[in-house]
A and B are shown apart, each in its own frame.
Chain A
């Protein structure tokens, strides 16, 4: 009898998750294969239509580009501040800032960039006064390129935070051993550092990919859903902005969940591989 209270709380949490998280997901799966006359693959097959392929392609392009920039820039920043010669104050400032900025995003970030790089943004105007009209040169904040610039604002810090433990696990002894054997820093990185880091870098890339892939608010605030991304397409179906059946929205969501499951699976497989080198 004394165990009744603890099990009540455990059961309540599990039931809550089942009702409001698992059940809606199952509902999406069921909805995506049910037509007027029962089971149908019509809606899942419709994902092959041109407009959804464009949305898939845009989403993948945006996520891959911002993840790639994030991995490289974030990796370099983390590497710079983790050097033993870097001042301690700098290291903790960058780590703290990254922890904050990685959680940043959404509508305020979007309008922060409108104020900076929008067509009336201060940086755009300043560059124009210098004779560089970036909008005339084809740049616009409301495109895949523009969104990539904005997404990097949370992708790079996210990278700094998730790669720091892996960089810290590169042992000083390895580097010293290389130096004793006469290796240059370039050789050290090519033959020891990067091969050891590779699974962690891959796992980070995949996680960053997923974080951009599932982002909706930033893209919506910048483009009002006019740029076809997977998330904004789902949003358009839900808010009735386009003539699509709810089943199409469900099918798109299922497609998205499948990608995210693959993301999680790949990244945890890669980090298991990375953990060989950690103690």
Chain B
């Protein structure tokens, strides 16, 4: 242990203070009731807010819908591209890099300039699934791509075909199970990011969980700390799931910041 050297320990100690400090202090702050009293009154006040359950539900529904969109739109396209049209790979890479190049705030500017209707599309919170799809795209793409490269799709498919399986059977029985950990990782990361996403929801005026935290935070800091604590818990649980699913380094450069 001592072989890290004094410098090493100092660096780690400073890092621990910087990274753990705000988390601990946020929890303590959320329990602060003023004049040296601590208790859970901020959490109780929160439960009495009319919007809280509703906006939490909206965010949960959006997370699930975004995951579903990735599974329906991205996954099959990537599997089929690798099997039948590997020449289209550069096109896919280009699309996956776009959300980094076009930041969230610019994409939302473009979306609101281009789409002023129809009401059934832009009038419901589910409109957000479209930008969230692109928010999640870079790392969902990376995760699935790593998964596909690891299993040698072409050989597995040929093996399946020579055993008399149809394409549907191969995908259901061979491809999907081998991509399971990549898919679990991407899904949980998407859940965590969408739960905390603020930019699109705020500009497009939908009342999601992060918008609620911001609204509460403008006049009730302890309640905002309580909501942030809740949000930390959601993120860390989802991320613990990602790490357990065995996908490390799921880093996202174009995120919900």
Contacts and interface: CB of A to CB of B under 8 A. Distances in A.
Interface of A: 2-3, 6-7, 9-10, 12-14, 16-17, 20-25, 27-28, 31, 73, 76-77, 80-81, 83, 85-87, 90, 95-97, 99-116, 118, 120-123, 152-154, 156-158, 161-162, 164, 207, 210-211, 213-218, 220-221, 224, 231, 234-235, 237-239, 246, 249-250, 253, 256-257, 260-261, 264
B196 A108 contact: yes
Contacts of A211: 253-255, 257
Contacts of B150: none
A85 B113 contact: no
A106 B196 contact: yes
A112 B196 contact: no
Nearest to A234: B105
Given A107-B213, A210-B100, A118 B221 contact: yes
Given A115-B221, A118-B221, A246-B113, A260 B77 contact: no
A181 B148 CA distance: 46
A227 to B, nearest CB: 15
B15 interface: yes
A2 B166 CA distance: 11
**Interface-centre pick from B23, B88, B101, B167 (highest chain A CB count, 10 A):** B101
Interface stretch (B49-57, B173-181, B198-206): B198-206
A114 B8 contact: no
25 contacts: A10-B81, A10-B88, A24-B109, A25-B98, A27-B113, A28-B106, A77-B15, A87-B1, A96-B243, A105-B255, A106-B256, A107-B196, A107-B213, A108-B228, A108-B231, A111-B26, A111-B213, A115-B221, A156-B18, A221-B198, A221-B217, A235-B105, A235-B202, A237-B109, A238-B203
A104 B189 CA distance: 11
Contacts of A27: 110, 113-114
| SS of B interface (majority) | helix
A257 B109 contact: no
A111 B103 CA distance: 23
A99 B251 contact: yes
Interface residues of B, number: 92
Given A24-B113, A103-B193, A13 B227 contact: no
A121 B25 contact: yes
Interface string B118-137: 00000000000011011000
B107 A21 contact: yes
Nearest to B130: A20
Nearest to A231: B105
B247 to A, nearest CB: 9
A276 to B, nearest CB: 22
Contacts of A158: 251, 253
Given A103-B239, A115-B29, A217-B210, A80 B12 contact: yes
Contacts of A221: 198, 213-214, 217
A220 B198 contact: yes
Contacts of A115: 22, 25-26, 28-30, 221, 224-225, 228
B192 interface: yes
A115 B196 CA distance: 18
Contacts of B253: 158, 207, 210-211
Given A7-B84, A162-B251, 15 more contacts: A6-B84, A13-B95, A24-B114, A25-B102, A76-B11, A80-B11, A96-B248, A103-B250, A103-B251, A107-B217, A114-B221, A153-B19, A158-B251, A210-B100, A256-B105
Contacts of A80: 4, 7-8, 11-12
Contacts of A81: 12
Given A99-B243, A214-B104, A217-B256, A106 B198 contact: yes
Contacts of A96: 243, 248
Given A7-B85, A250-B109, A256-B103, A235 B196 contact: no
A134 to B, nearest CB: 15
A24 B256 contact: no
